[in-house]
Structure formats: structure tokens, C-alpha cells
Homo-oligomer: A and B are copies of this chain.
Amino acid sequence: MSLLVVGTVAFDAIETPFGKTDKIVGGAASYIGLAASYFYKNIQLVSVVGDDFPNSFLDTLKSQGVKLDGLQIKQGEKSFFWAGKYHNDLNTRDTLDTQLNVLATFDPVVPDDYKEPDFLMLGNLMPLIQQKVLAQLTKRPKLIVLDTMNFWMDTSMDELLKTLSMIDVLTINDSEARQLSGEYSLVKAAQKILSMGPKVLVIKKGEHGALLFNKEEVFFAPALPLEEVYDPTGAGDSFAGGFIGYLAKTKDISFENMKRAIIFGSAMASFTVEKFGTERLIGLSQEDVEERVQEFVDLVQFDISLV
């Protein structure tokens, strides 16, 4: 059993109403790997960094159970860098700087012993790179989850649609679901998107929770009302990591179990936003995670008997 995670390992510089960071460690695969590691330990990473990336963070990933044989370290090159500034509501942001660096020429190489993962998490990346990973697998994974974003809908829609036809679960946010489907109603949007390939769709609504759809059913997971949200960066990736990590742990990909997985994903996202970057995802205890999940249970649990 294994979980293959593909995505960026990178630097971010973040400004929110609560403060500002210098270059700190980020990237979709960093958040996904850390969040998943609280549920599942055989995590295999495929990604790329430059020689400027700190070994200390790579050691952290390794100590959390994330294997790095598929991480290319490009000598003489720089890691991907993104800088952004969140608006006061923390729901919208401006990109201040994007330096592709090693990502510009990233050609993913899946190590031989990573080629038959049971679970595959394709973090947000160019759809063509996501396809290149799929092409190298020698057996179809039990579950393929893909995260993407509006940027690829604007620039590579054909490639994105092709990728969508190859996966099982898609995670996108509400405005992306509207853009991808051309439907304002999320119920209608979901049905259109489910006809594009994915059997299951997760619509992330940030502080407003997340919706899980298949063709017949819908489930809603709330977000935890938090006193302070310091930095939303990585919330969606942590959500995806908790989601697939829980599924890999339980080896159960039924819709019922995905409901549970989405709660665990939401719990991991709720940790991430409490501090800048990946800080809050490092060194959590099993009790921390269980207590947080219990808060979700308490938040929505009610007892109505309809007779």
C-alpha cells in the first residue's frame, strides 16, 4: 500500500492583515504530504526544487513519513516562488510575484518503485504535468484525486478536460466550479462537472465549508468558526492531504467514508490557517487531531427524530 503525492515544493512570501513573512516554505505537495502524514505513513513524493531549498524542511518531511526519492533537486537552479497579499476578508488575494524557476522545465519522473501506488494525489500543477505522471504508472491506482485551479481553466482548458477524464475525485473551490461548468448553482455545476469524468466532486468554500457530490448524493462539511485566521495559504492543500490520507489509512473509498475523510481534511485545513505557512502542521499529536475532529462533530451534531 502506498500514497503517491505529486505537486510543488516551493517558497512563498505571504502578506495578510495579521502580518507578513519573508520567504517561507510552501507548495501544494508540502501541505498535502504533511497533512496526510497524520493518517498514513507510506507517502511517496514526486516534485522538484532548486539547490536553494532548505534541507531542514526536507528532513521534516522525511521524519513525518514522506519519502523523497522522487524529489528532483536541480543544482544551480532556484525553487518555485510565489508572493501574494490577502485582502482584509482573507477570501481574495493578489499575486505579487511568481517566479517559476525549476517549475518552468519540470519533467516529473516517477521512480520505479512508485509506479503502482494505491492512492494518487495530483496537487495543483499544469494539467500536462499531471498527465505525464499518470502515463508513467504501470497500474491504475485505486483512487486518483486531482486538485486544480482557475489559472488552468483560463490557459489550458483542453488539457485540463483531458486530465479530468482520467481521474476519480476532483477538488476545486466554488468560483472554479462555476467557471468550469458555466453554472451559478453549485448543484447544477456539480452535475455538469461529474459528467466530465470525475465520479466525485469536492467543492471547497473556504470559511463556508465544503460540499461533496456524487451523481446521487450530497454531503456538507462545515468549516470550524475560528477566532483568528492568520494565513489561508495551503488550506485547500491541507484539506486534500487530510482527505486522501484518511482514505489511504482506511482503504475504503465509499461515499460514506469520503464523508468522514472530508471532515478529517477540514480539520487539517483548520490547523493550517492558524499560523503562517506550514508551521501549524508540524508536530501535531494524535490527540490534537482527534480533539479537532471532535470539535467538528460537536459543531454540527443534532438529534431530530421525525416520526
Contacts and interface: CB of A to CB of B under 8 A. Distances in A.
Contact of A263 (B226, B298, B302): B302
Contacts of A306: 290, 293-294, 297
Contact of A304 (B89, B226, B229, B293): B293
Interface string A191-227: 0000000000000010011010000011111100111
**Copies of this subunit:** 2
A220 B211 contact: no
A226 B185 contact: yes
A113 interface: no
A297 B222 CA distance: 14
Given A208-B205, A225-B186, A263 B300 contact: no
Interface of chain A: mostly helix, strand, loop or mixed:
mixed
A112 interface: no
Contacts of A263: 302, 304
Contacts of A222: 209, 220, 222, 300
Interface in A167-188: 184-188
Interface residues of A, number: 37
**Most chain B CB inside 10 Å of its own CB: which residue of A184, A218, A304:** A304
Interface in A93-121: none
A228 interface: yes
Nearest to A217: B298
Contact of A184 (B88, B187, B209, B300): B88
Contacts of A218: 225, 299
Interface in A252-307: 256, 259-260, 263, 290, 293-294, 297-300, 302-304, 306
B303 A228 contact: no
A221 B228 CA distance: 21
A260 B304 contact: yes
21 contacts: A88-B184, A185-B226, A187-B227, A208-B208, A211-B225, A218-B225, A219-B299, A220-B222, A220-B225, A220-B299, A220-B300, A221-B300, A221-B302, A222-B300, A259-B302, A260-B302, A260-B303, A293-B304, A294-B306, A297-B306, A300-B300
Interface of A: 88-89, 184-188, 205, 208-209, 211, 217-222, 225-229, 256, 259-260, 263, 290, 293-294, 297-300, 302-304, 306
